[in-house]
Amino acid sequence: MKLFIFSKFTWILSLAICTNGNEDCLATEGDPCDTDLVLTDWHRSIRYDTEPGFIISDDFIVDGWYKLRNEGDRIDIRMPTSQPGLFKCGTLFPVWINGTYPALGDDIETVIGCVYTLASTCDYSIDLCIKACSVDEQLYFVHYLTDTPGTQMSYCTDSLLICEGSMTSSTGFPPCDDIFPTHKEEPMITFNAKEFSVSTVCNINPTEAPDDIEFYVWWYIDDELVYEQLNANEISDEYDVVVDEGKTICKEGEPHQCILSRRLGSYIQCDVSLRFKDQDAFSPAVRSNTIYAGLTIEPNNTIDFVIGVNEIIEFNVSSTIPIVYGKTYQDVCKTTPLLSCEGEVKINAATTSEIANVEESCQKSITNDSPATFMISGTKDIMINFLNKASYITFEGDRTTFNRASNIWKDRLTHFPTFKK
């Protein structure tokens, strides 16, 4: 009678379990090396940790001589001759060989198969046989296996595990190579100042030689997919755009040459997949950092809008985008773009009727490497006003000077960010 296992930790021992005690392997007709029976499941590996829901059980295996095959060209797979541990080999109670393998030319070797259970490393034994064989000067073994004395017991092998993740090989087993190129680090977005335009570059840094790979890039602006293309790691504001039937269309050039036009105040990201040039599939996409296209406040992109009477706060406004001039103004005087501000802020006083005004002379120049410096001074409102005043500062670009800049600024002169407390 068989031993039936009902769970990972509970089983019934109602009857004694005996070894097979037969000599069927010695009475086999013909050469055991010519057997057609094969065990091929790599989950039988001593390296495999059994997962719930997938349990190999050899209680109804056909008695006979078996070849162990599951690693492509490798034919010398064996059963382990030391205990593999519980819950290995795709089963709960692995069967291993308590003995040694014969040499080529030796007779059939009779060995003990040990069932490793919670009680012992060799709680139950099975009479097994092994014979050494060869083909094309390669040594391999055949094993005479019989059904196990209980369920959730199976024969182990020393097979390797399959290649995992993005790793692969011609056989599916080690040695494995990465099927995809890999990134040294995540893609990094930067702005690039050209002669007459601004571009955003998705910088890709693969571990492999760049000449050996291709990449596919998806561009996102404010979380909207705006462009995707093979090897398209740069988008630009070189040409202007028009809207036709609700779609933004580049006036000139290729689509990637005007993606940034009128994109001030946006957040930009890219996703990148890699592949070797002789392959069809791309790697899983890796997302870049996020970069902001517009004005920022220094320090920390914040302003303290609550100040004291007669107190002065100084802050800088910088552009994350290089300020360059378009082709139309390449041969004319290039006046530095001017930025002006206005707004109201609360005074740190007892009543809400006291406010502070942004400094009157609030027009400043802004360039690539020099931020515009502004000051807010606290003043006392002589009028009694019990309504709460909004706390804000807005910026406006001088139309004459900013119209000469590249297309990313176009039609956005009155739509610069408003900083609110």
Q: pLDDT by residue (tens digit) across 158-217?
A: 998 887 766 666 677 887 776 788 888 899 999 999 888 899 999 998 887 778 889 999
Residue 141 near residue 129, CB atoms below 8 Å: no
The per-residue pLDDT for 225 is: 92
Which distant-in-sequence residues (6+ apart) come within 8 Å of 414 by Cβ?
396, 397
How many residues make up the chain in this entry?
Answer: 421
Instruction: Indicate the average pLDDT of the chain.
Output: 80
Residue 181 near residue 284, CB atoms below 8 Å: no
Q: If pLDDT is split at 50, 70 and 90, which confidence band does 64 have?
A: very high
Rounded distance between C-alpha atoms, residue 64 and residue 145, angstroms = 6
Give the lowest-confidence range in 183-187, 345-349, 371-375: 345-349
pTM for the predicted model, two decimal places: 0.56
More confidently predicted of 381 and 35:
35
As a whole-number percent, the residues of the chain with pLDDT over 90 amount to 39
Q: If pLDDT is split at 50, 70 and 90, which confidence band does 341 have?
A: confident
Domains of the chain: 24-155 (no CATH), 188-292 (2.60.40), 295-420 (2.60.40)
Q: Which DSSP state fits 399?
A: H
Give the lowest-confidence range in 100-104, 238-242, 390-394: 390-394
Q: Is the pLDDT of residue 309 over 70?
A: no
Q: Is the pLDDT of residue 384 over 60?
A: no
Q: If pLDDT is split at 50, 70 and 90, which confidence band does 233 have?
A: very high
**What is the number of helices (H) and of strands (E) in the chain?**
1, 28
More confidently predicted of 198 and 331:
198
Q: Is the pLDDT of residue 36 over 80?
A: yes
Burial state string for 221-256 with b = 16 or more CB within 10 A and e = fewer than 16: beeeebbeeeebbbbbbbbebeeeeeeeebeeeebb
Summarised one tens digit per residue, pLDDT across range 246-261 is 777 888 888 899 899 8
Beta bridge partners of 128: 111
Q: Is the pLDDT of residue 333 over 70?
A: no
Q: Is the pLDDT of residue 385 over 60?
A: no
- By the 10 Å C-beta count (0-12 exposed, 13-18 middle, 19+ buried), 74 is classed as middle
Give the lowest-confidence range in 44-48, 59-63, 79-83, 416-420: 416-420
Angle (nearest 5°) at CA 302 between 299 and 303? 100
Residue 251 near residue 243, CB atoms below 8 Å: no
Which range, 119-133, 175-189, 209-223, 383-397, is most confident? 119-133
Q: Is the pLDDT of residue 73 over 90?
A: no
> How many Cα atoms are found within 13 Å in the side-chain-facing hemisphere of 222?
8
Ramachandran region, residue 400 (left: φ > 0; alpha: ψ -120 to 50; beta: rest)? alpha
Q: Which residue has tokens 């000599």? A: 23
Q: Is the pLDDT of residue 304 over 80?
A: no
Q: Is the pLDDT of residue 222 over 70?
A: yes
Q: If pLDDT is split at 50, 70 and 90, which confidence band does 17 have?
A: very low
Q: Is the pLDDT of residue 18 over 60?
A: no
Rounded distance between C-alpha atoms, residue 341 and residue 271, angstroms = 36
Spell out the long-range contacts of 31-34 with Cβ–Cβ below 8 A and sequence spacing 24 or more. 32/65, 32/108, 32/131, 32/133, 32/142, 32/144, 33/131, 33/133, 33/142
More confidently predicted of 376 and 288:
288
As a whole-number percent, the residues of the chain with pLDDT over 70 amount to 78
Over range 45-60, report the average pLDDT: 92
The per-residue pLDDT for 115 is: 97
The per-residue pLDDT for 331 is: 55
DSSP 345-358: EEESSSSTT-EEEE
Over range 45-54, report the average pLDDT: 91
The per-residue pLDDT for 289 is: 95
